[in-house]
Amino acid sequence: MADNTEKIEELEKQNRILQKKLARSEDDRARMEETKERSESLLRTVVRDLRNSQEVLEQKNTELASTLAQLQTTQDQLVESEKMAALGQLVAGIAHEINTPLGAIRSSVDNIADFLSDRLMVLPDFFQSLSGDREEDFLKLLQISLQQDTSLSSREKRQIKKHLKAQLQEKNIDNADSLASTLANIGVRHSIDPFLGLLGDREGKTILEMAYQFASLQKSTRTIITGSDRAAKVIFALKSYARYDRSGATVQANPIDGIETVLTLYHNQLKQGVEVVRNYEDIPSISCYPDELNQVWTNLIHNALQAMHHQGTLTIDVCQKEGAIAVSITDSGTGIPEDIKAKIFQPFFTTKPPGEGSGLGLDIVRKIVEKHQGAIAIDSVPGNTTFTVSLPITTPEKTHV
């Protein structure tokens, strides 16, 4: 009996638990269904968002591709304009290089023309009027004029004149100052003794004047020769600089020729305060794009000059080592601070004031050097900054970049 009661109690308990579990199970099922609906909704929304994001990303991607294309065009334009700016500076320098000898030639030609129009007619009478001694004196003066050293400084000329004047005064000859000038201009350097007879002659002054005119004529001729030589040299450098092989193939050329060409074109900017030291070893010609390498030398030399404000020493070392040509261009400027050393080859990086530098100069240099499968390195301490360009002696043929 007691057993039965216990069993009934136990069964009742199990029944209570099962009923509770059933009720709970219904609740839980409803909740799980709700949860599932929300979960499905979340999934749908996230998938929809992903699709939207994908569309937005695709659109952004298209925009970015178009922006990138624009940027590339702009960069190409900037590279071109940087090249044009460099060319502009070069042209200004060259104009000066050519104008200077042209001016000298022009004034020499004026001088010769004046002589011809003023003096040519009187020459027969003048020669007829000369006595034997004076004719000898005149020819001696012309001889001195022909041999005269044209490289005297103003100071040296002043000293010669002073020396001659003192001798004239010692001999009590009138117009010592004017006579000393004329004698000095003709080319008399030391003693007036050979010309004492002439100086004592009544016609002595006229003869000296005429000799002086001939000396000027001589000088003008020399100036024209020097000037035209100089202009021809600049034109030749310009032709070398601009040599451009349209085939896009490399040619054999010696980098030193290119460096010298650039130095010639920069002659005017170098001569006022820059000492150029050339340490050139004998190097072979290399397979290269000479016109592009000229851009490299121009850029590095131009930067070097700017870095030392056109005052100091520009040292160019060229040597051959380990199958490569190494060209080092060193300036005595303030140097490149450590923190910007890593950035100077980055496009658009510049330390120059806005509007002066595009920041593409060294980027172009780096690209040209890389095109030659070479390398560029910097070593800089204050007072000594060196850019070293290494170029392999044989560069495999490459397509034009």
Partner 1 sequence: MLQPNRQAILLFDIVLYTYTVGVPATTSHSRNPSMLKVAVGHSNDPDSESAIDIVVEQCRSSLEGVAPKAGILFASSDFDLEVLLQRIHQTWDNLELIGCSTNGEISSVMAFQQDSAMLVLFCGDTVEIAAGVGRNVSKDPVAATREAIDKARSKLNSRDPKLCLVTPESLTTSGVSIIDGLSRELGENFPIFGGAAGNASNQAQTFQFFNTEVLSDAVPVLLFAGNIHFSHGIACGWNPLGNQSRVTRSQKNRVETIDDRPAIDFYEYYLGTRTHSVEYPIAIFEADGNFYLRAPQSWDEEDGSITFFADVPENATIQITEASRDNILAAAEESLDRALESYPGEQPEAALFFTCAFRKYILGTRTKEEYELVRDRFTQSLPSGGFYTNGEISPIAPGTPTRFHNETFVTLLLGSQ
Question: Binding residue for partner 1 (CB under 8 A) from 6, 7, 11, 19?
Answer: 19
Smallest separation, CB 20 to partner 1 (Å): 4
Closest CA to 296 of 378, 245, 369: 369
How many chain residues bind partner 1 (CB under 8 A)? 24
Per the CB < 8 A criterion, the answer to whether 379 and 386 are in contact is: yes
Q: How many Cβ atoms from other residues are within 10 Å of residue 4's Cβ?
A: 8
Site for partner 1 in 239-258 (CB under 8 A): none
The nearer residue to partner 1, 33 or 135, going by C-beta atoms, is 33
Question: Binding residue for partner 1 (CB under 8 A) from 6, 7, 22, 37?
Answer: 37
How far is it between the farthest Cα atoms of the chain? 182
Site for partner 1 in 41-100 (CB under 8 A): 41-42, 44-46, 49-50, 53
DSSP-assigned letters across all residues of 78-94: HHHHHHHHHHHHHHHHH
Those residues with Cβ within 8 angstroms of residue 238's Cβ, 6 or more apart along the chain or in another chain: 94, 265
Span from 9-17, 122-130, 308-316, 361-369 in contact with partner 1 (CB under 8 A): 9-17
- Strand ordering across the sheet containing 384-392: 274-280, 312-321, 324-331, 384-392, 375-381
The nearer residue to partner 1, 31 or 190, going by C-beta atoms, is 31
Question: Binding residue for partner 1 (CB under 8 A) from 7, 8, 11, 16?
Answer: 16
Cα separation, 235 vs 97, in Å, equals: 10
Site for partner 1 in 283-322 (CB under 8 A): none
Per the CB < 8 A criterion, the answer to whether 214 and 185 are in contact is: no
The nearer residue to partner 1, 51 or 343, going by C-beta atoms, is 51
Can residue 31 be called a binding residue for partner 1 (CB under 8 A)?
yes
Contacts with partner 1, residue ranges (CB under 8 A) = 13, 16-17, 19-21, 24, 27-28, 31-32, 34-35, 37-39, 41-42, 44-46, 49-50, 53
